[in-house]
Structure 1
Amino acid sequence: MQEKIHSKVVCTVAICDSLARPLLQNMMQFNGLHGCGFCTDPGTNVPKGRGMTRAYPYKKDFVLRSSTETIEQAEHAFQNKKTVCGVKGPSILMCIPNFDIISGFIPDYMHCALLGVARQIRLWVESKYHRYPFYLGTQVERIDSRLLPIKPPSNISRIPRSVTQYKFWKAHEWFAWLVFYSVPVLKGILQEQYFLHWCLLVEGIAVLTSQSISEEQLYHCEQVFIHFVVLTEKLYGTEHVSYNVHCTLHLVKSVHDWGPLLAHSAFLYESYNGHLLDMVKGTLAVPLQMCRKFLMEQSLKMFKEKLHNTPAEKLFLSF
Structure 2
Amino acid sequence: MPKCAKRNRFQKKVLTYGRISQLLIDDEVQNKEINSEAPSKISQQDLKNSLVGFVENRTSMTTISTPNNNNRFDVHNPIICVLGENVNTPCNTQTETKTESIEMMHSCEGSNNHSLDLPFREKLTSWAVNENISQSSLNKLLEILKTEKDTSSFKNLPKDSRTLLQTPKKVDIVKLGSGFYYYFGISNSINRLIASNNCKLSDDTCFELAVNIDGLPISNSSSSCLWPILAQVKSVDALKSDIIVVALFSGNSKPEDSNEFLKEFVNESVVLTNNGIFVNNKHYKFKISMLICDVPAKSFLLCVKGHNAYFSCTKCKAEGDFINNVICFPEYENFRKRSDAEFRQQVDDEYHMGVTILTKLPNFDMIKNVPLDYMHLLCLGVMKRLLVNKNYGWIFGRQSYKLPYSDINKLSDLLTSLSKFIPSEFSRKTRLIEECKRYKATEFRLLLLYVGPVVFKKSLNPQFYDNFLSLHIACLIMCSGEYHKDPDMLNYANELMKFFVKKTSEIYGYDFISHNVHNLLHLSDDIFRYGKLDDFSAFPFENYMSQLKKMLRKSEKPLQQIVNRISEGSFVKKVSSNSKLSVQLLQQHFEGPLLQNSNSVTQYKVIKSEKYVLKTNEPDCFVQLQNNDIIRVVNFTRCNNGTSSEIRVIGYKFWKKTIFLILHVNLHSWEYLK
For Structure 1 versus Structure 2, the TM-score category normalised by the shorter chain is: 0.7 to 0.9
What are the within-5 Å matches in structure 2 for residues 101-112 of structure 1? 101-112=366-377
**Counterpart for residue 92 of structure 1:** 357
| One of 390, 398, 410 as aligned partner of 1:129 | 398
TM-aligned CA deviation for residue 4 of structure 1: 3.1
1:134: how far off? 5.1
Work out which of the residue numbers 21, 44, 50 in structure 1 matches 2:321.
Answer: 44
**Superposed CA offset, 1:65-116 (max 9, x none):** 110121122xx6xxxxxx6141233221111011111111111000000011
- How far the C-alpha of 1:46 sits from its partner, in A, is 1.2
Q: Distance in 2 between matches of 1:33 and 1:191?
A: 33
The residue type paired with residue 124 of structure 1 is W
Match of 1:308 in 2: none
- Distance in 1 (alpha carbons) for counterparts of 2:281 and 2:368: 34
Residues 1:147 and 2:415 aligned together: yes
Structure 2 residue 448 is matched with structure 1 residue 178: yes
Work out the CA distance in 2 between the residues paired with 1:193 and 1:206. Answer: 20
Q: Does 1:268 align with 2:537?
A: no
Offset of residue 198 of structure 1: 0.7
Is 1:112–1:244's contact at 8 Å kept on the other side of the alignment? yes
Higher strand share: 2
Higher helix share: 1
- What's the Cα RMSD here? 1.8
User: Equivalent of 1:251, from 489, 501, 523?
Assistant: 523
One-letter amino acid matched to 1:242: S
Conservation of the 8 A alpha-carbon contact between 2:332 and 2:521: no
Specify which of 282, 303, 314 is matched with residue 26 of structure 1: 303
- CA–CA distance in structure 1, aligned partners of residues 290 and 548 of structure 2: 23
Whether the 8 Å CA contact 1:45–1:53 is kept in 2: the answer is yes
CA contact (8 A) 1:56 1:246 kept: yes
SS of 1:115's equivalent in the other structure is: helix
Look up the SS of the partner of 2:327 in the other structure: strand
AA aligned to 1:121 is L
Q: Counterpart of 2:380 in structure 1: which amino acid?
A: L
Residues 318 and 331 in structure 2, CA contact (< 8 A), matched pair in contact too: no
Distance 1:38 1:23 in 2: 16
Match of residue 285 from structure 1: 557
C-alpha separation in 2, matches of 1:124 and 1:98: 45
- Aligned position for 2:496: 224
Match for residue 159 of structure 1?
A: 429
Q: Deviations over 1:168-202 (max 9, x none)?
A: 21111111111111111111221111100011111
3-state secondary structure, aligned to 2:290: coil
* Displacement after TM superposition at 1:267 (Å): 0.4
Provide the rounded CA distance (Å) in 2 between the counterparts of 1:144 and 1:135.
12
Residue 138 of structure 1, CA deviation: 3.6
Q: CA deviation at 1:148?
A: 1.6
The amino acid of 2:410's aligned partner reads: R
What's the counterpart of residue 201 of structure 1? 471
Measure the CA separation in 2 of the matches of 1:156 and 1:60.
36
| Post-superposition offset of 1:153 | 1.9
Structure 1 residue 294 and structure 2 residue 563: aligned?
no
> 1:38 offset after TM fit, Å?
0.9
Task: Structure 2: give runs of 5+ residues left out of the alignment.
Answer: 1-279, 577-674
Matching residue within 40, 58, 61 for 2:334: 61
SS at match of 1:207: helix
Distance 1:162 1:35 in 2: 35
Aligned equivalents of 1:182, 1:40: Cα separation in 2: 33
Give the structure 2 partner of residue 311 of structure 1.
none
Distance 2:319 2:553 in 1: 46
How far 1:247 sits from its partner (Å)? 1.1
Is the 2:395–2:402 contact (alpha carbons within 8 Å) kept by the matching residues of 1? Answer: no
SS of the residue 1:100 aligns to:
coil
Percent of paired sites with the same residue? 26
Q: Per-residue displacement from partner, 1:138-159 (whole Å, max 9, x unpaired)?
A: 4111112222211112211222
- Aligned AA (1:287): L
Aligned partners of 1:29 and 1:288: how far apart in 2?
Answer: 32
* Matching residue of 1:117: 382
Whether the 8 Å CA contact 2:504–2:513 is kept in 1: the answer is yes
User: How much does 1:301 deviate?
Assistant: 3.0
Distance 2:369 2:357 in 1: 14
8 Å Cα contact 2:332-2:502 kept in structure 1? no
* Secondary structure, aligned partner of 2:323: strand
Q: Secondary structure at the match of 1:233?
A: helix
Cα displacement (A) at 1:240: 1.4
| Structure 1 residues 133 and 91: CA distance shift in structure 2, 3 A | closer
Check whether the contact 1:134–1:190 (CA below 8 A) recurs between aligned residues.
Answer: no
- The residue identity in structure 1 corresponding to 2:534 is L
Q: Does the CA contact (< 8 Å) of 1:11 and 1:99 recur in 2?
A: yes
Residues 58 and 229 of structure 1 are in contact (CA less than 8 Å); yes or no, is this contact kept in structure 2? no
Q: From the CA coordinates, give the structure whose radius of gyration is larger.
A: 2
Distance 1:159 1:59 in 2: 35
Give the match's secondary structure for 2:570: helix
Q: Write the distance in 2 (CA, Å) between the matches of 1:34 and 1:238.
A: 17
Please point out which of 260, 281, 291 is paired with 1:4.
Answer: 281
Q: Which whole-Å CA distance do the structure 2 matches of 1:280 and 1:135 have between them?
A: 43
TM-score normalised by length of structure 2: 0.41
Separation in structure 2 between the aligned mates of residue 168 and residue 28 of structure 1, nearest angstrom: 28
Matched, 1:16 2:293: yes
Partner AA of 2:533 in structure 1:
L
Deviation at 1:133, TM superposition (A): 4.6
Uncovered stretches (5+) of structure 1, i.e. residues with no partner: 77-82, 306-319
Larger relative contact order, structure 1 or 2 (CA cutoff 8 Å, min sep 6) = 1
- Pairwise CA distance, 1:260: 0.4
Q: Distance in 2 between matches of 1:10 and 1:285?
A: 34
Q: Distance in 1 between matches of 2:375 and 2:285?
A: 30
**SS class of match (1:12):** strand
